[in-house]
Structure 1
Amino acid sequence: MTDILEELAWRGLVAQTTDREALAQALGSGPVTVYCGFDPTAPSLHHGHLVQLVLLRHLQLAGHRVLPLVGGATGMIGDPRMSGERVLNTKETVAQWVDRLRAQIGRFLDLEGDNAAVMVNNLDWTADLNAIDFLRDVGKHYRLGTMLAKETVARRLASDEGISFTEFSYQILQGMDYLELYRRHGCTLQTGGNDQWGNLLSGVELVRKAEQATVHALTTPLVTKSDGTKFGKTEGGAVWLAPDMMSPYAFYQFWVNTEDADVVGYLRTFTFRSREEIAELADAVAERPAARQAQRVLARDVTALVHGEDEADAVVAASQALFGRGELVDIPAATFGAAVSALPTVAAAPGDPVVDAAVGCGLVAGRGAARRAVAEGGLYVNNDRVTDPDATLAAGDFLHGRWALLRRGKRTLAVADTAPADGTESSSAG
């Protein structure tokens, strides 16, 4: 790719850069070595990290050398937050999270071949560093006034809580990462979120002072919705990339629920679709918004990127089957369980009347309404229309020996469960 920087900008992946013209020339002149840091302050990466992973993937595909850094050292301190001091995790916890994050990052980048990405850990060059050497060799290049002027530091200093020396020193450690990677791998570009601009410049300045060399920094914008609100929160919290913290089905549903006003921008940022493909999907949004074609492409692509093609196929099939456009029996148990986990639920067993189950989970207001729904042809068990108002749930109706899917009309779903998680019935409306 002759102008990767222009491509990244078109995709909404460029907020700020050091000397943009010089960076564009460097990227266009030959392979550049680039790194991005990921701190293990949680057991999983989330949607914000996904922006950086996609950026690194674009750079690797364009022929540049990529160094994903998992911060085994910086993760034990944590980047200062506006909200207050972080709780320090144990060394054992951080080490476990380092392993989890390395496995997650490895899904996005080619780790073998002529242009393999190289995983690095800043604990390798900090674990044996003593305080005197740190202060003499690194600390001497920092000026207190510059460090105090950084927005997060300034705000924390003005707060009642203040800021500890531990978190205050984070910017020095991150700057040292850039210096070490410049020396070890010839790294001349660091990327990060726009909230990391100050930390990135810390590394740029340290390399300049310690090595008299010019290196670059590039940040990505904070992804927001079209109304300006923050992107990426669900009722359960963050949009995690780990399947044990957010199921692939729930992950898919998050993306498929994207608003029309946002979906084209997200296709540019989070997928590798071509400009022509995205233009066609933009036309589909404008001309046939009810079909939600762009949202389904976005959700399928991002789910495959994060969880793999097989898992993406499974959740797409489950999403279709729940509404009668596929075979429920073909959905794996784990995927089916995730798909129905948020539905209104009633505890049930073989032999229970279908109308009682429909009332118990809130699909209908009472037995009379349930019998009328049957008479009108609007009540289903596992996508099969119920024709007998006295029908009961059979053992074979409980898929994977547990769940029977109930549906009223085209889109109102609930589930009869032989072993609900809390052992209670739910009466919430579908």
Structure 2
Amino acid sequence: MMNVFDILQERGYIAQTTHEEEIRELLGKESVTFYIGFDPTADSLHVGHFIAMMFMAHMQRGGHRPIALVGGGTAMIGDPSGRTDMRQMLTKEKIEHNVSCIKEQLGKFIDFSNDRALIVNNADWLLDLNYVDFLREVGTHFSVNRMLTAECFKQRLEKGLSFLEFNYMLMQGYDFYVLNEKYGCKMQLGGNDQWSNMIAGMELIRRKTGKQAYAMTCTLLTNSEGNKMGKTAKGAVWLDPEKTSPYEFYQYWRNVDDAEVNQCLRLLTFIPMDEVKRLSALEGAEINEAKKALAFEVTKLVHGEEEARKAEEASAALFGSGGDLESMPTTELERSTFIEGIGILNLLTQVGLTKSNGEARRLITQGGISIDDNQINDPSTIITLNDFQDDKLIVRKGKKVYHQIKLV
């Protein structure tokens, strides 16, 4: 059986490790208990959490035991990592509600039967801590000078870092220590932005017990511009079907840029790597085959095969050649208009989808325009005869407005 470390490395998950060779050897010779933390700042996880859940799922398939740590206690403080401002303070009741919602979503990715995985809430040990005892038992092992060099704090010092948030690193480090003592948890996994907090927990275990622990971070899911994926003009892409419908979820992945297909297939599906390489090598119109495979597989993982099939069929009905398009608003334009091409801004205004080129430009920059299920991101795009299939193309504005353009 292939070492899960090699699988993770081949698929591009691993960003940093504390002890690469030791971790690979450890994962190859025993079942390792590891954890990933999820702070319940909302009542649903979103695409940003998806890669961490896949990280866990690969590890479990490799014979290792996940602990999904839901941060009911740390959410009372708020993680300053990756933030330029202080997080909103949540009530205890709101946090408890969010925790229950997140537990249900995690169950779609991780097998919790027969003690194969655990869900624990750090509120169970953090909320009843005596502060003076905590400072004496834990705070004494942390150097303020060293903490201030951590990336998660450095970017906040200029605008102001509250003492409340300054405690977060101690609390996350203590989480790792508690899980190590209670469940034999040897490894923490997480996003690359959590590196400083993970090292802090590893060091706390070493100082208090003398035992070796490990940390491994996963790649953040980013687009070709280096920005985090999972945002639309409407907001975050949620895993909760009430917040982002299975169809909208499917369409998000169906419309990713060509340059992002390979990364998404590797990190967000279980498609074998040989097939990932084949799909990623497709070019031109054929890349749509890869995007359809990506959209179906990701939607199936999150919403189940039935919902994925429905989303696929709905998309095909709108954009496939066999769909019934008779009731769709249609504009007929002369073929000669597209011989040299027409700018997308002019086209949107000409067919009545926008009132002005300025409105058209704003919609495009917000990700609100697609042609034949491919999102348009460049306002200077020129539409030519090559963009038509069977003398027609379909423009979508937002999520629900469709317009067919026919050549005459």
What range is the shorter-chain TM-score in? 0.7 to 0.9
* One-letter amino acid matched to 2:301: L
Shift of 1:410: 4.5
The corresponding residue for 2:256 is: 258
The corresponding residue for 1:312 is: 308
Shift of 1:209: 0.6
Go from structure 1 to structure 2 and tell me whether the alpha carbon gap of 1:70 and 1:326 turns closer, same or farther (over 3 Å shift): farther
* One-letter amino acid matched to 1:308: G
Go from structure 1 to structure 2 and tell me whether the alpha carbon gap of 1:362 and 1:214 turns closer, same or farther (over 3 Å shift): same
Q: Distance in 1 between matches of 2:86 and 2:316?
A: 45
Equivalent positions of 1:306-345 (< 5 A) are 306-323=302-319
Equivalent positions of 1:22-421 (< 5 A) are 22-80=22-80, 81-113=82-114, 116-159=116-159, 162-283=160-281, 285-286=282-283, 289-290=285-286, 292-323=288-319, 409-412=392-395
Go from structure 1 to structure 2 and tell me whether the alpha carbon gap of 1:213 and 1:365 turns closer, same or farther (over 3 Å shift): closer
In structure 2, the residue corresponding to 1:25 is in which secondary structure?
Answer: helix
What do you get for the CA RMSD once the two structures are aligned? 2.8
Go from structure 1 to structure 2 and tell me whether the alpha carbon gap of 1:235 and 1:129 turns closer, same or farther (over 3 Å shift): same
Go from structure 1 to structure 2 and tell me whether the alpha carbon gap of 1:293 and 1:76 turns closer, same or farther (over 3 Å shift): same
Deviation readout 1:187-222 (Å, 9 max, x if unpaired): 001001001000110110010111111000000122
Contact 2:152–2:196 under 8 Å retained in 1? no
Contact 2:40–2:99 under 8 Å retained in 1? yes
Go from structure 1 to structure 2 and tell me whether the alpha carbon gap of 1:260 and 1:140 turns closer, same or farther (over 3 Å shift): same
Q: Distance in 1 between matches of 2:259 and 2:200?
A: 37
Q: Distance in 2 between matches of 1:90 and 1:13?
A: 34
* One-letter amino acid matched to 1:280: R
User: Gaps spanning 5+ residues in structure 2: where?
Assistant: 330-347, 354-390
In structure 1, the residue corresponding to 2:14 is in which secondary structure?
Answer: coil
Q: Distance in 1 between matches of 2:351 and 2:168?
A: 57
Go from structure 1 to structure 2 and tell me whether the alpha carbon gap of 1:365 and 1:40 turns closer, same or farther (over 3 Å shift): closer
Q: Distance in 1 between matches of 2:253 and 2:104?
A: 23
Q: Distance in 2 between matches of 1:50 and 1:413?
A: 27
* One-letter amino acid matched to 1:16: Q
In structure 1, the residue corresponding to 2:110 is in which secondary structure?
Answer: coil
Contact 1:39–1:75 under 8 Å retained in 2? yes
Go from structure 1 to structure 2 and tell me whether the alpha carbon gap of 1:107 and 1:365 turns closer, same or farther (over 3 Å shift): closer
Shift of 1:365: 5.8
Contact 2:75–2:95 under 8 Å retained in 1? yes
The corresponding residue for 2:388 is: none
Q: Distance in 1 between matches of 2:119 and 2:395?
A: 47
Shift of 1:363: 9.7
Go from structure 1 to structure 2 and tell me whether the alpha carbon gap of 1:265 and 1:365 turns closer, same or farther (over 3 Å shift): closer
Contact 1:256–1:298 under 8 Å retained in 2? yes
Go from structure 1 to structure 2 and tell me whether the alpha carbon gap of 1:293 and 1:362 turns closer, same or farther (over 3 Å shift): same
What is the aligned-residue identity percentage? 43
Go from structure 1 to structure 2 and tell me whether the alpha carbon gap of 1:116 and 1:253 turns closer, same or farther (over 3 Å shift): same
Q: Distance in 2 between matches of 1:243 and 1:99?
A: 16
Q: Distance in 1 between matches of 2:190 and 2:203?
A: 16
Q: Distance in 2 between matches of 1:28 and 1:239?
A: 36
Contact 2:48–2:228 under 8 Å retained in 1? no
Contact 1:72–1:122 under 8 Å retained in 2? yes
Q: Which has the higher contact order (CA 8 A, sep 6+)?
A: 2
Shift of 1:326: 6.2
Q: Distance in 2 between matches of 1:148 and 1:194?
A: 18
User: Gaps spanning 5+ residues in structure 1: where?
Assistant: 329-342, 345-360, 367-407, 418-425
* One-letter amino acid matched to 2:196: G
Q: Does 1:2 align with 2:38?
A: no
In structure 2, the residue corresponding to 1:322 is in which secondary structure?
Answer: helix
Deviation readout 1:45-87 (Å, 9 max, x if unpaired): 1112101000000000010011011111011211014311112
Contact 1:363–1:414 under 8 Å retained in 2? no
Q: Distance in 2 between matches of 1:291 and 1:173?
A: 46
In structure 1, the residue corresponding to 2:138 is in which secondary structure?
Answer: helix
